Amino acid sequence: MGKLAAAVSALVVLVGCVVGAALIWGGDGATLGSPIDPSGSASSSGSSSSSPSPDRSPADEPAYDAALSKPVEDSYYPAHGDPGVDTLHYGLDLTWQPGPQTLSGTATIALRAAASADRLRLALLDALTVSRVVIDGESTKWTQRHDRLQVLEPMKAGSRHVLEVTYAGKPAPVPAPTTRSDFSTTGMEITDDGEIWTMQEPFGAYTWYPVNDQPADKALYDFTIRVPRPMVGVANGELRSRRVVDGQTVTSWHLGHPAASYLTTIAVGDFVQTKDESPSGVPLSYWTHRGDARALAALRVTPRIMAWNERHLGRYPFDSLGILIVDSQSGMETQSMITLGDTDYTRSPEVIEHELTHQWYGDLVTPTDWRDVWMNEGLTMFVQGAYEADRDGVGIDTVMDRWAVSEPAMRAESGPPGAYDKGEFGEGNIYYGPALMWNELRHRLGDTAFWSMVRAWPTVHADGNATRRQYLDWVEKRTGLELTSFFDDWLMGRRTPPRHAG
Ligand SMILES: [Zn+2]
């Protein structure tokens, strides 16, 4: 998630994910099978699908194999995902109408049944009324209540299907399980100007599309967004086409690496795109509101931060990076299109650096279970501390010593980082304690071995998920150290373990 908005001294405020906006999906159905088309012709074509052959479903498209997951029931927020479903690709064809504040559209979802079941379940906000469901080219029955869409078709374990869901309504964010100061809801937000944006950690994608809304199920995405000019729709990945049709701006976006649903983003507004490039050649683009010179100036630091990050973390893992400025108080590491609030803090170099580090830690490799969000935030916070130390010409321990002052209070208030209180998602405890933990390990290993380990881990499960056990076992094997009690004390202890560094 976003991050902590570190205030001045040691007191920290979290900047995290955020709230939603409202979108309307409209448009015709996306055809499965083509969305991955590298030509970028994305997913719009006709309404329903594809003539299913008895042997081969469009969901069998080999390119979708990259998105095969092993979903599990989330131990923290089990109501928001279904381990029986492994979504592979979402083709989202959406229309936003600012006047009536209606989002309408069709979601074309390629999926694999991970278990046999008498029906298929996805999350979808009740306010988004479903008008049609088609599975493998045939209309089918469904029910919609309690923010859950149930498609009444039996599923056989291992079978692949293409589901098309047509829906419309006024999106709204939902309460987030947190007490953070920078956000209290999650999902899609509608601004007073009729613009929309989203931040949705740990769940909330279901406020704008039907989704298996849990981190363990990654999928590929294509978006087609239709909005009235001069508005433009922005989403994850690469902008494949932009055109004007009947007074509407129509953009198509392609996300070619699998992403968890909390890492998707969409925004509609009077945005202007500014292109840039990192020293290593990564295409960069900044999406800021027309005339927002302050935001654009702040983002100009991105190539330098990318160079710093690539020196420390290895090559940037995706094909392009965008940064999108929205009307939020928070910041979110949405995959290859970072979403930032328009505040001095959320546009600051340390927040940009933080969300960029998440592209390796959180996005490329993602925790299987929300209990382990510390796997994202601890290392990312440590790296942010290293960046700040470098920038300010001080040692990393100087930054860690400062952060250590308030860590015990955060741990006392929200629980141990590895067993946080479920209603306190994304609080300081999951950031600062694990950051201090990694710094302790750095002292034991030395900088060279430590940073080498930091660079290696995201590549081990690239484009996938990992559990706490997998992570910690890997660290022990890599370092040759016996770290069971070390990790246990730092992650599960009610009190901050003694620090030897500093
Ligand atoms: Zn973060």
pLDDT tens figures, 202-249: 999 999 999 999 999 999 999 999 999 999 999 999 999 999 999 999
Quote the ligand 1 centre to 426 CA distance (angstroms).
8
Query: At 15, phi and psi to the nearest 5?
Result: -110, 125
- pLDDT tops 70 at residue 445: yes
Of 45, 65, 43, 363, the C-alpha closest to 223 is 43
Instruction: Kindly state the average pLDDT of the residues 266-274.
Output: 98
Preceding amide of 202 cis, omega within 30: yes
Pairing of strands 365-367, 464-466: parallel
Distance from Cα 6 to the centre of ligand 1, integer Å = 11
How far, in Å, from the CA of 362 to the mean position of ligand 1?
Answer: 8
Residue 166 φ/ψ, nearest 5 degrees: -105, 135
Q: Which residues pair with 284 in a beta bridge?
A: 276, 321
- Please report, rounded to a whole number, the percentage of residues in the chain having pLDDT higher than 70: 89
- How many angstroms separate the alpha carbon of residue 490 from the centre of ligand 1? 19
**4 vs 334: CA distance, rounded Å:** 16
pTM (2 d.p.)? 0.90
Residue 382 Cα to ligand 1 midpoint, Å, equals 11
Q: Are 461 and 257 in contact (CB under 8 A)?
A: no
Report the alpha-carbon angle 224-107-58, nearest 5: 100
> 344 CA distance to ligand 1 centroid (A)?
17
Question: How far is residue 228's CA from residue 95's CA, in Å, rounded to a whole number?
Answer: 9
Out of 10-24, 78-92, 130-144, 156-170, which region has the weakest mean confidence (pLDDT)? Answer: 10-24
Quick check: 6 pLDDT over 80?
no
Residue 473 neighbours by CB distance under 10 Å:
12
CA of 43 to the centre of ligand 1 (A): 32
Residue 49 has pLDDT above 70, yes or no: no
Q: How remote is the CA of residue 26 from the centroid of ligand 1, in Å?
A: 32
User: What is the whole-number distance in angstroms between the Cα of residue 374 and the centre of ligand 1?
Assistant: 9
Ligand 1 centroid–CA 384 distance in Å is 10
Q: How far is the CA of 473 from the centre of ligand 1 (A)?
A: 23
